[in-house]
Structure 1
């Protein structure tokens, strides 16, 4: 497998002059820009996952990041490369996923995630559920997830100019991780960070003690950031982030049990790498403008596999884009508007063409969109509305051209009924034009687009409430989500490999309720979520790739207790999923997805007064439960067996971190 340099100097060399070429005056005092916020024009139960929570839980992968949210499921087993995330039963491919503002949307190889990222490098994760607001960008049918990585300003302690951090971890099930970071400020205007992490795991054990073959992995993650405070009101920052994963795993990395006489599922070397570079400008109080955010980004994802016969092949996906956001305060009201542009190119490398014509093995698409979104305050009533327009252009691997465009409105109302109670309602619509196939499909067969493909459209209607009184917090919502003209591949007589076109309409009805109570240093939480997804009148099954999956009602309970004088924090999290009856793919009889309950605990200790040393113990799956996550592609009726991977059994994780 090709080895790329961990921090390509050519990228940093390009970004650095862009930072320094801008005219600016040096600020005399360090200034941290305060963001101007405009609430999204959807009333969803959105949330933010903070770095401290990820560190306490010793998060390693997608499941660890989102385990505390009952509306998010992560299937695929314990290998990070085979995991897929679902929000309200909708697959991650229906979301807008971004790292530091760089969108990574299209699919490379359907058994692999295109987004691998070390949770230790994350500052926070913003989750926008349901059809997203106008400012979330084009094509956010099921919502948006925005990952933000750490910077030097996040890591430096008060009064510190230079610093570093070393971290080492060991896992009983089974592997280790290490990381090193260096960061600092040059004067009061320039800050920089370099960070690197390595994680290596061996084949893990399921809850029944069985060792799951071909699940070992090597991951490397690197992050470089440079920030320049141009003036008191302006900041320019550049970042480069690289993540890579390598291992020997089955060709279908999420299906250990798959067997087929023509399509082998051999264990073969596979790798996935992503390079992402961003350049950001943030300004406030710029004459008549109250705020201006601009982001330029480029990301490249490379997937590679080597077969038993010695053939090496894979895919490349390159995304280039730019976003501009203007913010304006008008009296007590708020307004924001802007433009989004994105271009994506995919290619299959070394086409084998085993089943007929595959075209030229390359595709490209672009989208240009604009939006306006505002918030109006009238005493106890807040009205929020947005409108965006997107224009898509797509050329497929058979040189067919497609154009899609349309408007996406959104609106919501929030009523502060009492000091403690807020009621809200809203509606949002999103359009995603015809775009790239999964890059893997450019190689294996004559998967050809129907000429009459229509753009996908999503609608989301919600009712919700928030109640806060003293240490008690309650919130909840009910929603109906629809997705029309879902685009996927299916068999058809006109093409030897298959056709790609509109399959039908999906409807998802659901709700979420959450309660939290804080009493001094003790906090308690309980939440429940349930969604009922249907495609043309039937429940989603595990074979609805690119669309979603059906899971049972999910409960999450949390408890955390702090002893500040001793530098101790401890917590427990339980995730409980009820059983579900559904009809698996390949059979007309119903099966039951078994329910399960999994318990995680942690204790974090900072023994020194300056909190420079942190010792952490976390135990995942405390009672060694053997189970298949219900979001995993499990039972297959055609083969009459479970294809997917079980989740890892008990895992004791020990970590020490020294910040200096």
Structure 2
């Protein structure tokens, strides 16, 4: 039986179940469902669907996307300046996941030595991550899962009874961290909401634990955001957001190209270049989540553009996308039904001439339909299952057009054994469609060719269990994600039709103790990441990184009503599976906050990053097993002071 035939049969089964349960919701009578258990944070965590909450982001005092995932083990972010940071889920790079900001699809892959999605976490509300098991309503191309970023609205920041407010945060750190200022004002009147925010961060190059200065790592980030919304008395809500995030610092360059992900390139002299990474986004959303009965419509249109000045080349990614759906209430759950689309392009330019000239472009279009059900079948059994079908077309840089379509299906179950034990299982088969090549390198040096070019597919499975008793919560899961026929995003000699097979398999585990005044969580991940049946290298861009064994720790304790102390830590064990062994390391970050009872709108905080001044390169960094590269080591001990006042 072929994979596609199996997927089609599973889809028919899922559709039959959904049709049977949908009969319970044919009138407009509101149904109080409470919380569907399979959507609870505990069930989703075992299924690989983690959520970084607003409280956790605040605990980590996140200034970069790497800070957002501090203390995690399954989700790693590479280091350096924001322009260089990439996110990996169980060792698979985010370019193989569906990435959204406030529901809007993000295009990526502008240049392989830089990050995919530039994001400032100043107003980040939450991050939801699906590892391998992507729901059908989370967008196309979710081969290895989903990363969904959500930013705060005015209603998230306003105090009860207030119609205006503001938030100002100032921080200063040594070791190159420098100054960071964020100013936000927000308000609400007569159903109209507004939020305006700006961030400016500047700093010098930092020193690692050995005292070596790492060239081109100084902060130079600017972020603006505006969000407007109007909600009627009947619950209709129309919102618009616009944002622009820019990293324009001097970055290390060799032979005409920036490489901010490396400390040095062996045999090549480094010099500074005024690089640019910029993301501009516009999103319009209509929703009516409080309609009652079977209606909860959601419609969104979004445009985002990412530009990258990397020296001799200049890359531009553009994306126009939309989704329309309705979440129908069933007697025992919900089913979300709708369609989505995107129209994207990647264009590269010769940046060594003025004005710069185009080297060529690719264009990618996709239309998909989906249905995803989430139900409590009984007091003990909860399920989530769904399917989507996509039609995709790609126009190559030499004008050839490719068209294909495919089915994606998923299913998961949460089964309560007794008061303490719960079992979870999930499977997914995801059609990946086509993927745009790297924008900056379109037709660079060699015209791109498409012999053998095709679509990809991923198959994922996850089996887990959790135990809860009193203050203790323990969970563990086995996972495997296989992605076949990944066409070359960064083609060698222009061969876009070169194909790779990628596999990530291993285990995730977590132990949490929650007391009256604090908590402690220990996370553990082992991810064996293989490319074409061999251990993946740390320079296999747009694919993954060799993870091995990683531990993450996060803890916090309220000393009293005014003082809180806590910290995060990451431990990576030595990995000998790579061509050059990856050394192990341990790094610890501590913090203390003071919020006076007499002035609860003021918070003072001190962070000590890399407490023991370790010299190390993050396990997810580029080039750490490559003899031709001096890996980018992380900052040595750094002290940061932050003051935040809400008015």
Per the normalisation by structure 2, the TM-score is 0.88
- Matched with 2:533 is 537
SS at match of 1:52: helix
How far residue 538 of structure 1 moved from its aligned partner, in angstroms, is: 0.8
How far residue 367 of structure 1 moved from its aligned partner, in angstroms, is: 0.6
**Using the alignment, how far apart are the partners of 1:35 and 1:304 within structure 2?**
49
2:135–2:410 contact (8 Å) kept in structure 1: yes
SS at match of 2:511: strand
- Matched with 2:582 is 593
- Matched with 1:575 is 570
SS at match of 1:361: strand
Pick aligned residue for 2:601 from 604, 607, 612: 612
- Matched with 2:462 is 462
Pick aligned residue for 2:260 from 250, 253, 264: 253
1:507 aligned onto 2:506: no
User: 1:478–1:178: structure 2 CA closer, same or farther, 3 Å change rule?
Assistant: same
1:645 aligned onto 2:632: yes
- Matched with 1:431 is 431
- Matched with 1:475 is 475
How far residue 593 of structure 1 moved from its aligned partner, in angstroms, is: 0.6
**Using the alignment, how far apart are the partners of 1:533 and 1:371 within structure 2?**
30
1:197–1:220 contact (8 Å) kept in structure 2: yes
- Matched with 1:162 is 164
How far residue 608 of structure 1 moved from its aligned partner, in angstroms, is: 3.8
2:607–2:640 contact (8 Å) kept in structure 1: yes
1:534-560: CA deviations, max 9, x gaps? Answer: 122211111211110102311122221
Deviates more, 1:411-420 or 1:169-178: 411-420
**Using the alignment, how far apart are the partners of 2:570 and 2:173 within structure 1?**
21
- Matched with 1:346 is 346
1:500-524: CA deviations, max 9, x gaps? Answer: 1242322221111111111211212
- Matched with 1:277 is 282
**Using the alignment, how far apart are the partners of 2:335 and 2:36 within structure 1?**
10
How far residue 376 of structure 1 moved from its aligned partner, in angstroms, is: 3.7
**Using the alignment, how far apart are the partners of 1:83 and 1:207 within structure 2?**
20
- Matched with 1:335 is 335
RMSD: 2.4
2:311–2:351 contact (8 Å) kept in structure 1: no
2:617–2:624 contact (8 Å) kept in structure 1: no
SS at match of 1:284: coil
| 1:515-526 alignment runs, 5 A limit | 515-526=511-522
- Matched with 2:194 is 192
1:74–1:86 contact (8 Å) kept in structure 2: yes
- Matched with 2:23 is none
| 1:209-220 alignment runs, 5 A limit | 209-220=211-222
Per the normalisation by structure 1, the TM-score is 0.87
- Matched with 2:91 is 89
**Using the alignment, how far apart are the partners of 2:120 and 2:344 within structure 1?**
24
| 1:100-499 alignment runs, 5 A limit | 100-174=102-176, 175-187=178-190, 189-249=191-251, 250=253, 251-259=258-266, 266-284=271-289, 286=291, 289-306=294-311, 313-350=313-350, 361-379=360-378, 380-488=380-488, 497-499=493-495
1:114–1:301 contact (8 Å) kept in structure 2: no
**Using the alignment, how far apart are the partners of 1:483 and 1:543 within structure 2?**
18
**Using the alignment, how far apart are the partners of 2:311 and 2:576 within structure 1?**
39
- Matched with 1:23 is none
How far residue 131 of structure 1 moved from its aligned partner, in angstroms, is: 3.7
- Matched with 2:19 is none
1:279-335: CA deviations, max 9, x gaps? Answer: 11121354753311211111011112445xxxxx41211111111221111212321
| 1:618-633 alignment runs, 5 A limit | 618-633=607-622
User: 1:259–1:524: structure 2 CA closer, same or farther, 3 Å change rule?
Assistant: closer
**Using the alignment, how far apart are the partners of 2:598 and 2:154 within structure 1?**
22
SS at match of 1:500: coil
How far residue 381 of structure 1 moved from its aligned partner, in angstroms, is: 1.7
**Using the alignment, how far apart are the partners of 1:207 and 1:531 within structure 2?**
27
**Using the alignment, how far apart are the partners of 1:36 and 1:452 within structure 2?**
47
1:24-64: CA deviations, max 9, x gaps? Answer: xxxxxxxxx99986957986222221233323322121221
Pick aligned residue for 1:655 from 637, 642, 645: 642
User: 1:35–1:652: structure 2 CA closer, same or farther, 3 Å change rule?
Assistant: farther
**Using the alignment, how far apart are the partners of 1:616 and 1:343 within structure 2?**
44
Name stretches of at least 5 consecutive residues in structure 1 with no aligned partner. Answer: 1-32, 308-312, 585-590
**Using the alignment, how far apart are the partners of 1:623 and 1:285 within structure 2?**
51
**Using the alignment, how far apart are the partners of 1:657 and 1:285 within structure 2?**
34
- Matched with 1:54 is 57
